[in-house]
Structure 1
Amino acid sequence: MKTTIHKLDDGSDALILPREMLDSLNLQSGDQLQIIETDHGIILRPVADRFERQMKAAREVMDKYQVGLQKLAK
């Protein structure tokens, strides 16, 4: 998979990852990546913030199915 470094309006540069890659790695806009330089190139590794993402997902599910969950709790 290839990508290109793009020039932004503010003069900085940005590496844009293809949507297919983000989806396959379960990454979302706003997620943080650690950049590790090696003799063979770079490694991009998600910063371990999975607990907060899991809690957010759980809250979204609970909000969406609040009525059904309340009935099950009785």
Structure 2
Amino acid sequence: MNRPLKITKIGNSAGIVLPKDVLAHLGRNVGDEVAVVLTPNGIELISAEPDFEEQMAAARKVMAERKRALRELAK
């Protein structure tokens, strides 16, 4: 799908309105969250996983603590 969406002023910010079929495709409803992924070609909207950021923070902490062991395992 490739359809133009207009950028709208929302207070001091800007936003786009997602049509119902796009929300349905994402499996999201009004009030839910989506994640914006920056890609070489622009952006990608994906369904946000509520625990994803917490999981990534935990993974980064473990990788930092075990950096040396992980480097050895990568050989």
Normalised TM-score (structure 2): 0.54
Q: Which amino acid aligns with 2:7?
A: I
Q: CA deviation at 1:23?
A: 2.0
Unmatched runs of 5 consecutive residues or more in structure 1 = 50-74
Q: CA deviation at 1:39?
A: 0.8
Residues 34 and 24 from structure 1, CA distance in 2 versus in 1: closer, same or farther, beyond 3 angstroms? closer
User: Which residue matches 2:5?
Assistant: 3
Distance 1:25 1:47 in 2: 9
1:19 pairs with 2:20? yes
1:6-55: CA deviations, max 9, x gaps?
A: 012x2211111111211233210111111111111111111124xxxxxx
The alignment covers a number of residue pairs equal to 48
Q: Which amino acid aligns with 2:38?
A: E
Q: Give structure 1 regions of 4+ aligned residues with deviation exceeding 6 angstroms.
A: none
C-alpha RMSD of matched pairs (Å): 1.5
Q: Which amino acid aligns with 1:3?
A: L
Q: CA deviation at 1:5?
A: 0.7
Q: Percent identity?
A: 27
Normalised TM-score (structure 1): 0.54
